[in-house]
Amino acid sequence: MNPLNPKKLLLTKWTAVRPVAKQKHFLVSRVVQRDDPTAPIEQVEIEAVFSKATQVIAWRELQDDSVWRQGWI
């Protein structure tokens, strides 16, 4: 399990363990904030480097070593 701080995830690089459609490398492009700025961060938007496709995921999913590796491997 990767120890992560959700406030420091912006612009971090990630590698998918099981790539789909040549989408292997991702970049956290945005941290999704709620309307209340004091509310905890729950989601991040990741962008595929190859296709520029984006998707919103729960930031805690990045802690799962069987799905994500930190950095571009």
Total length of the chain: 73
Fill in the amino acid letter for 64.
Answer: D
Asked if residues 30 and 44 have their Cβ atoms less than 8 Å apart, the reply is yes
Residue 3 has pLDDT above 80, yes or no: no
SS3 72: coil
As beta bridge partners, residue 70 has 14
| pLDDT reported for residue 1 | 59
User: pLDDT tens digits for 11-70?
Assistant: 999 999 999 888 999 999 999 988 887 888 899 999 999 999 999 999 999 999 999 999
Q: Answer yes or no: are the C-beta atoms of 17 and 69 closer than 8 Å.
A: yes
Closest of 31, 19, 27, 20 to residue 52, by C-alpha: 27
The overall pTM is greater than 0.85: yes
